[in-house]
Amino acid sequence: MRWLAAPRRTKSMVDNDAKCQVVTTTSPTTRNVVDVHHTSASLPQRQQNTVFRALPDDILVFIWELAIFEESKSGFFPSYDHLALLKISAVCQHWRWTALNTPSLWTHIRSRFPPDLLNLFLKRSMEAPLNVEITCDKYFDDNLHPSVDGDDLMRKVDKFSAKLAAILRHSNRIRFLSLSLEAYASTIIDSRLAGANCRTPMLEGLRFHVTSDLGLWAIPNVDLERIVDAGTSLLEKFRSPLLRELYLDGLRAPPDYIHLASLSHLSLKFNDVEKSVEDYLTSILVDEAPLISLSLDLWSAFVISQPSGSTANRLHLPHLRVLSLKAPFSQCMHLSAMFSVESLEELHLETRQSFIVVHELAKLLPRNPPGESARIEFDADLIRLEFFNMTEGSRCDSYKKYLFSLNTQFSNDSTIYILLGILKSHHFPNILSVDLRSSGAFDSGVTRALLSHFDTLRSLRIHLDRRSTCVFPIEDAIGSSLLRSPSSPLRSVQSLTFSNLTVKIPQAMPFLLELSTVVHERTKAGLPPLILEFENCEGVTDELLRNSGLKR
C-alpha cells in the first residue's frame, strides 16, 4: 500500500494551537504526555539557531515517521506508536510546532484510544485521509461472560458506540479501515449503526475480521445466522467504488459484494464448514479479473468437498502477480491447479506439518525462472527460492523476478531433503550468482548437491543468519574438492563470500591453506582471479589471512 502525506497546515490553521510553550525537564510519562499535548504550542522563533532546527521540516518528519513506525496488530497497514508521537511532540517548542503542522502524523486512528485522545487525533489530522482500526472485544456477549452484569455491559457498549460515532463523523476521509469484531459484538454494532452515515467514498482498503473464543463451529446455529447476517450488513454499509484491497477473515462475503472490477488485492480466510471452496471461488472469480494478489487460507476451515484439481475449466488470471495458499499440502495443490497464472511472480505456500509429495511440489517451480541471480534460503520452518536480475534494485521495466516460499513445521534435515527434492528435476544454466542462506549449519555434501543445478556460476555467497545461535565452521561449508574438481559447479567461480561463519584454529587452517593454493594456481594458469571475502566471520584476522597466504 502507499500512503500520501497530507498538505501542511498554514499558520492560520494552527494559530489556536500556538499560544503557550511546552517546558519539560524530565522524560514525559505516558499520562502527563497526553495531558501536556492538550495544550497548544507557541510559534517558534525562526531566528534561533539550535540543533533541532538544523534539519528541514520535511526531513525531520520523515525521521519521526521511521522512529514511531510499528506494524499494526491487524497486519493490514503499518501504524504509528501514538505514545511515541506524543512524546516527540512534547520535546521542545519547535518539534511541537512541526508536529502540529503535519496532519499526516495524526491519521492513524484506533478505537482503543481513550475518548479524549481519539478526539485529539481526529482534530489534529485535519482533512488528511485516515487509517482506522476498530476493535471490539468479547465483553459484548453477556451470555459468555456472566460475571459482567447487564448495566456494566451496556455502559461499555455505550462508551464504545460513542467512540465509533466520533470516528464515523469523519467517514468521508477514511482510506483504510480494519474491523476486528468478536462474533456477538457484530450484531450489537450493526444494530447501533442502523441509519448511521457510514459512507466511505475514499475507502481503498477494508479488512474485516470476525472471531470468537468459542470458535465459530461452537456457536449455536441460530446465533451464527444472526452473526453472519450482521457481518454481511456491516460489509454493505462500508461499500466503496474505490475499494481495491479486501481482506476477509472469518466472514464469507456474498459473491455479489466482491466487485472484481476495482479490486487488485483479495484475501479470504475461511473459518467455517465449507462444502466446496472451489464452487465459492468460481462464483466470485472470473476470467481476466484484474487481481494482482490473491490469498486463500483454509487452515481454520473444515472442507467437506476437496477441489477437483481439474485443469479443464481453469480460471485465467493474467494480471495475478502474487498467490498465497495456506492449507494442507493436498488442498494447496488442488487450489493451485484452479488458476492459470502465467505472469505469476510470487507463490507462497503454508503447509505446516501436512505430508508433502516432493515431486508434485517441484512442478510448481517454473522450468526457466527469470534473472541471472538466485537466493536460496532454508531453515526448519521455511524454504525460500528467489530468482532475479543482478540489478535487483532497478526500477526499469526489464526487471523481473520469481519468488517461491514454503512454510513448514519440520526439522532442519527434513527441510533440506524437501529443498533438494524440489530442485532435483530442475536445471538453471542462466544463473550466474547464488546466495545460500541458512539459520543452521550444513555440510559440504549439501552445498555440492544444491550447486549441482547451476553450471555457470561466477559468484557464490554462503550466509548464516546472524540471529542463529549455532556455530557453522567455515571448513564445513565447502570442501576443497569442490574448488578443484573440473566437473565442479565452482570451477568457473570468480567471487566466493563467507558470511557469519566461524573460523577456529587449528581446525580451519588446512582449509584456508587449500583456499590459498587454489587462488595462486588460478593466477599462474592465467585464469580469472578468485576473490575471497569474509563478512563478519568470527576468528578471521589480518594476521590469520597473512599466515594462510590469503593476504599479503
At position 531, the amino acid (one-letter code) is: I
Residues 5 and 58: beta-carbon distance below 8 Å: no
* Per-residue confidence (pLDDT) for residue 28, from 0 to 100: 43
For residue 527, give the C-alpha cell.
585464469
Measured CA to CA, the distance from residue 321 to residue 314 in angstroms comes to: 17
Per-residue pLDDT of the chain in tens (552 residues, 90 and over written 9): 334 444 444 444 444 443 333 434 344 444 544 555 555 555 555 545 566 567 888 889 999 999 998 876 656 677 888 999 999 989 888 889 999 989 999 999 998 899 999 999 999 999 999 999 988 875 544 444 444 445 555 677 788 888 999 999 999 999 999 988 888 888 888 888 888 888 999 999 999 988 776 666 667 777 778 888 888 899 888 888 889 999 998 888 888 888 888 899 999 998 876 767 888 888 888 888 899 999 999 998 777 666 555 556 789 999 999 999 999 999 999 999 999 988 999 999 999 999 999 999 999 999 899 999 999 999 988 999 999 986 645 454 556 899 999 999 888 889 999 999 999 999 999 999 999 999 988 989 999 999 999 988 999 999 999 887 889 999 999 887 888 888 888 888 999 999 999 999 999 999 999 999 988 988 888 888 899 999 999 999 999 999 888 876
Kindly give the pairing relationship between strand 495-499 and strand 531-535.
parallel
Residue 480: count of CB within 10 angstroms of its CB: 16
* Per-residue confidence (pLDDT) for residue 9, from 0 to 100: 46
Phi-psi region of 285 (alpha: psi -120 to 50; beta: other; left: phi over 0): beta
* Per-residue confidence (pLDDT) for residue 15, from 0 to 100: 41
For residue 129, give the C-alpha cell.
485521509
Q: Which of 378, 325, 329 is nearest to 353 (CA)?
A: 329
Q: Looking at residue 31, what DSSP letter applies?
A: H
The residues, ordered by sequence, that sit 6+ positions from 230 with a Cβ below 8 Å of its Cβ are: 186, 187, 189, 190, 191
Measured CA to CA, the distance from residue 494 to residue 420 in angstroms comes to: 25
Measured CA to CA, the distance from residue 131 to residue 177 in angstroms comes to: 6
Measured CA to CA, the distance from residue 334 to residue 255 in angstroms comes to: 21
Secondary structure class of 15 (helix, strand, coil): helix
DSSP codes of every residue in 167-207: HHTTGGGEEEEEEEEEHHHHHHHHHHTTT-----TT--EEE
Alpha-carbon dihedral 401, 66, 40, 87, rounded to 10 degrees: 140
Q: Which of 257, 266, 312 is nearest to 291 (CA)?
A: 266
pLDDT digits (tens, 9 = 90+) for 230-256: 888 998 888 888 899 999 988 888 888
pLDDT digits (tens, 9 = 90+) for 8-62: 444 444 444 433 334 343 444 445 445 555 555 555 555 455 665 678 888 899 9
Measured CA to CA, the distance from residue 299 to residue 357 in angstroms comes to: 19
pTM of the model: 0.83
How crowded is the C-beta side of 486, counted as CA atoms within 13 Å? 0
Kindly give the pairing relationship between strand 322-326 and strand 346-352.
parallel
Percent of the chain with pLDDT over 70: 81
Q: Looking at residue 10, what DSSP letter applies?
A: P
Measured CA to CA, the distance from residue 410 to residue 416 in angstroms comes to: 10
Residue 258: count of CB within 10 angstroms of its CB: 17
* Per-residue confidence (pLDDT) for residue 23, from 0 to 100: 37
pLDDT digits (tens, 9 = 90+) for 403-419: 999 999 888 889 999 99
* Per-residue confidence (pLDDT) for residue 2, from 0 to 100: 37
Domain boundaries, the chain: 1-107, 432-552
Q: Which helix (DSSP H) or strand (DSSP E) does residue 346 occupy?
A: strand 346-352
